[in-house]
Amino acid sequence: MSIEQEIARRRTFAVISHPDAGKTTLTEKLLLFGGGIHTAGAVKSNKITKTATSDFMEIEKQRGISVATAVMSFEYAGLLISILDTPGHKDFAEDTYRTLSAVDSVILVIDSVKGVEEQTEKLMQVCRMRNTPVMVFVNKLDREGRPPMELLDELEQKLDIAVRPLTWPIASGRRFKGVYNLHEQSLLLFRPGGSRLEHHQQTSINGLNDPALDEALESDADRLREEVELIEGVYRPFELEEYIGGAVAPVFFGSALNNFGVRELLETFVQIAPAPGPRETDTREVRPEENAFSGFVFKIHANLDPRHRDRIAFLRVCSGRFERSKQLYHVRHDRKLRFSNPYSFMAEKKRIIENAYPGDVVGLYDRGDLSIGDTLTESEAFRYRGIPRFSPNMFREVINADPMRSKQFHKGVTQLTEEGLLQLFTQHKGSRLILGTVGELQFEVIQYRLREEYGVECRFEPLPYDKGCWIFSENRTALERFIRLRAQQIAYDREQRPVFLARSEWLLRATIDENPEISFEFSSDVTGRSA
């Protein structure tokens, strides 16, 4: 098979949502329909002990949330599909933001009861920045929720994107009867408690005036006709080019927990979702069909298998063909590396692969050579852009509770912060370690993982800062003077770039006004100066 054919059969996408909208449940049902797994788990709750396939870290099983992106691949309808199930919790948003740089499209899950929530808006802002194609799945139609037309209006207003329903719900909550496929003019009838894939009934009808519609829906048939007429009058016909360009989002309705509406979503996805396309670097645009391999690291996970203390770097292949054991050029280090055991994934389960193509996500065993944002090529020296790092707003000093385990402590802090969920800053020539985050829960996670994965107990000391920003200046003398005068508020990131720690937003603004020669930046590209 040629490289063009391999590229054409790849689909790589992320599933995103606000917490508890049903993202991980939908991911598992997509895998179930696609044959990637044979038995779906359940979203963690107090009454359910079985956990979701994509939530494999022990803390995820205990807390019932996703705290790390899981990568899962399977074949369906002649395509090789890679799903990246992302954390929904806002404290782990940076992992999701970086994951969005590695996919070609997105499925956004909306809770029909709660509508568009805060984290959903933030995630969509990242998608809109890249014009990423988005499909929307409105979940939990079997619960008493918001009116569908109201949800569509809210989607357009809050997410700054046009929508076009491709299925339409027939009632909701206890009266929920199913959905009408606007394109195929078919009915999918809902049966409560549907846990089997073939539980729900597909009914073909010859348009909305078919008497079979009245027979199937009874009193709801006329209401469906009215609503479909309204939809066709309000919304323009679905155009594939507008979806690919990120201008319009097709919308589907269903209940992931009941396996309802998921197949329709998957079938449409394989028909319209884009294959891997060109990507920008700091020197030129790289096209996927180029002969020379290139790719970038968007995620690192330490101790994916706690028994082997492994460290895996997740690489998105962008061009050419990746080959096992072939020598590759590490652009940042300006040296050659070889990977003899590259992996593909089904959550925590992995298998060694010989080749990979654009769109594939490859796991590379890493001895500490790779960092998030690193570019690997065959020989050309360029760097992929657009992998974000954000300014923290919570800071704590991390202290080793057992001086006899200093080596394990430093190793654990270094490896876990390299995953990107927390940022590590140092003061006093490295003797003081400061963790910066965008959410409280991240401190709990690193404390748990240090204890469980490295055998180290730590404690945190709160620090009086609520904002950190990178500082730069074309005037070297002015920058050195500022660092000297503000020494107690200066820390250094992993690349030894100076970071100013501010005690309040007001003081930060005052400092910026007083130092016009200094640039204060609140976000950065992990491969360069600013985002």
Question: What pLDDT is stored for residue 233 in this prediction?
Answer: 93
pLDDT, tens digit (0-9, with 9 covering 90-100), for 37-62 = 655 553 333 332 334 444 444 544 54
Quote the CA–CA distance of 348 and 329 in Å, as a whole number.
28
Q: What is the pLDDT of residue 47?
A: 31
The reported pLDDT for the residue numbered 419 is 79
Contact 238, 248 (CB under 8 A): yes
Q: Return phi, psi of residue 213, to 5°.
A: -65, -45
pLDDT of residue 127: 87
| Distance separating alpha carbons of residues 112 and 280, to the nearest angstrom | 37
- Could you tell me the pTM of the whole model? 0.80
Q: What is the pLDDT of residues 381-426, one digit of tens each?
A: 999 987 767 788 899 999 999 999 999 999 999 888 887 778 899 9
Residues with Cβ within 8 Å of residue 233, at least 6 apart in sequence: none
Long-range contacts of 462-465 (CB under 8 A, 24+ apart): 462/395, 462/396, 463/395, 463/396, 463/397, 463/434, 463/501, 464/503, 465/395, 465/489, 465/501, 465/502, 465/503
Say how far apart CA 140 and CA 154 lie, in whole Å: 17
CA-to-CA dists, residue 79 to 213, 240, 359, angstroms = 34, 19, 12
Question: What integer pLDDT is reported at residue 346 of this predicted model?
Answer: 65
User: Which of 391, 389, 390, 393 has its CA nearest to residue 464?
Assistant: 393
Q: What stretch of H or E contains 521? A: strand 519-521
How far does Cα 44 stand from its chain's mean position?
20
Q: What is the pLDDT along the chain (531 residues), one digit of tens a residue?
A: 899 999 999 999 999 988 889 888 898 888 888 776 655 553 333 332 334 444 444 544 544 444 345 678 888 999 999 998 776 556 566 677 788 889 999 999 999 999 999 888 888 888 888 899 999 999 999 999 999 999 999 999 999 999 999 999 999 898 999 999 998 888 888 877 655 555 556 676 777 888 888 888 988 999 999 999 999 999 999 999 999 999 999 999 999 998 899 988 999 999 999 999 999 999 999 999 999 999 999 988 876 655 656 788 999 999 999 999 999 999 999 999 999 999 887 655 678 999 999 999 999 988 888 988 899 999 999 999 877 677 888 999 999 999 999 999 999 998 888 877 788 999 988 789 999 987 788 898 899 989 988 999 999 999 999 889 999 999 999 999 999 999 999 999 988 999 999 999 999 999 999 999 999 998 766 654 444
Q: Which domains does the chain have, with CATH numbers?
A: 3-272 (3.40.50.300), 279-377 (3.40.50.300), 388-525 (3.30.70.3280)
Distance between CA atoms of residues 195 and 333, nearest Å: 51
Q: How far is CA 287 from CA 276, 281, 290, 361, in A?
A: 9, 11, 6, 17
Confidence at residue 8, expressed as pLDDT on a 0 to 100 scale: 96
Spatial distance between the Cα atoms of 340 and 362, rounded to a whole number of angstroms: 12
pLDDT for 5? 95
Q: What pLDDT was estimated at residue 86?
A: 74
